[in-house]
């Protein structure tokens, strides 16, 4: 029988919180912020103003963790005489959200010549870390294929501007004579929690051939569920008022279209740039959810191997989201694989 050996600890503004009733951590990927909600009994904290206070949550599996599972800042809280409930988001909240003042990029003040990473470094250094290190910039490493800010103009939220650019950026290493969607990679923003601070980085998805973890019903899986989902196999762009289309395969599961932003100076270039995005969608044909007894420290984008009696789902998968729920009686960890969130506006029926 699975035994819960976790000893979670919650800190607010550096102060340990006593009598934590429950805590729920979620990382949904797709450049969304990590969240933590918690309910606890602490008469001292219930009388404090908790808004924007720093929160750190340690899972402590068998020993004290050097770095927290989550570090962020409280955005909502509710206090009564008996209970306090908080909701926090990771440090990227200082780059996005209602509280961030948009920046104006024009012909006079702009980031022409800057890469996206250099832009983030400059903004964090000069706009956020003015009095203390809120977001560690040491984790910002240049991309292997940089995105440039040249020509970017308008009023924008920093994080949203970078996330939007990453959404359209892929690295296609397929042989030009043989399209291979296993050699098409995408980029995403990730958070790194260190001993004292947290930083952000831009990662590239890795090839599926090298799993870092293995799961089976004898080793790690409590339960598993999945459903098949027909991937988008037809890309549609608009170039110069006319439609550009790329269709992949013979659509055995039916035709599913996706809108793709036009990139290129001709219909041919737009279609060529569309191919990689349509092929990338072929990866996401299953939604798999695992409840597990190990792998609580798995990062998004890591590769796992699943072995069960169902041959239809055996194989390697990317972890796309993670949630951990803690109560007084147990700790539950759920992983989602190849479950890239869909936006209805991106797809055409």
User: Phi and psi at residue 149, in whole multiples of 5°?
Assistant: -95, 5
- Residue 199: the pLDDT is 97
As a whole number of Å, the CA-based R_g of the chain is 22
Between 345 and 112, whose confidence is greater? 112
Instruction: Give pLDDT tens digits for 112-130.
Output: 999 999 999 999 999 999 9
Which tokens go with 312?
Answer: 């239809």
Most confident of 33-37, 234-238, 250-254: 33-37
CA distances from 185 to 128, 177, 182, 213, 311 (A): 31, 18, 8, 20, 26
Instruction: Give pLDDT tens digits for 258-296.
Output: 888 888 889 888 888 888 778 777 666 678 999 999 999
In a 13 Å sphere around the CA of 23, the CA atoms on its Cβ side amount to 26
Instruction: Give pLDDT tens digits for 52-63.
Output: 999 999 998 656
Cα(66)–Cα(183) distance, rounded to whole angstroms?
35
Distant-in-sequence, close-in-space partners of 270: CB < 8 Å, separation ≥ 6:
237, 239, 244, 262, 263, 264
Q: At what angle do helices 116-123 and 158-167 cross, to 10 degrees?
A: 160
Cα(310)–Cα(320) distance, rounded to whole angstroms?
21
The per-residue b/e assignment along 91-114, b for 16 or more CB within 10 angstroms, e otherwise, is bbbbbbeeebeeeebeeeeebeeb
Lowest mean pLDDT among 21-35, 224-238, 250-264, 304-318: 250-264
Cα(21)–Cα(28) distance, rounded to whole angstroms?
23
Residues of the chain above pLDDT 90, percent: 52
pLDDT of 346 > 60? The answer is no
């Amino acid at each position: 029988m699975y035994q819960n050996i976790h000893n979670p600890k919650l800190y607010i503004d550096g102060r340990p919180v006593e009598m934590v009733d429950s805590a729920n951590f979620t990382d949904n990927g797709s450049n969304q912020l990590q969240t933590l909600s918690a309910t606890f009994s602490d008469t001292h904290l219930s009388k404090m103003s908790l808004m924007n206070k720093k929160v750190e949550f340690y899972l402590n599996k068998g020993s004290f963790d050097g770095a927290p599972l989550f570090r962020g800042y409280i955005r909502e809280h509710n206090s009564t005489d008996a209970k306090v409930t908080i909701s926090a988001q990771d440090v990227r909240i200082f780059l996005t959200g209602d509280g961030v003042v948009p920046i104006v990029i024009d012909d006079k003040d702009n980031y022409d010549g800057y890469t996206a990473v250099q832009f983030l470094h400059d903004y964090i250094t000069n706009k956020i870390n003015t009095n203390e290190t809120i977001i560690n910039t040491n984790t910002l490493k240049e991309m292997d294929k940089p995105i440039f800010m040249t020509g970017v103009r308008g009023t924008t939220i920093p994080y949203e501007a970078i996330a939007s650019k990453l959404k359209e950026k892929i690295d296609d290493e397929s042989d030009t004579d043989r399209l291979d969607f296993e050699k098409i990679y995408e980029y995403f923003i990730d958070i790194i929690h260190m001993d004292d601070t947290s930083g952000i980085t831009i990662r590239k998805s890795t090839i599926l051939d090298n799993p870092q973890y293995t799961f089976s019903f004898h080793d790690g899986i409590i339960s598993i569920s999945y459903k098949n989902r027909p991937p988008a196999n037809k890309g549609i762009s608009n170039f110069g008022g006319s439609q550009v289309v790329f269709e992949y395969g013979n659509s055995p599961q039916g035709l599913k279209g996706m809108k793709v932003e036009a990139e290129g100076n001709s219909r041919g270039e737009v279609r060529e740039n569309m191919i990689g995005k349509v092929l990338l969608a072929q990866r996401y044909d299953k939604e798999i959810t695992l409840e597990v007894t190990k792998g609580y420290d798995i990062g998004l984008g890591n590769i796992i191997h699943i072995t069960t009696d169902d041959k239809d789902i055996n194989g390697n998968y990317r972890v796309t989201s993670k949630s951990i729920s803690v109560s007084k009686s147990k700790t539950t960890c759920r992983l989602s694989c190849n479950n890239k969130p869909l936006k209805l506006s991106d797809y055409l029926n």
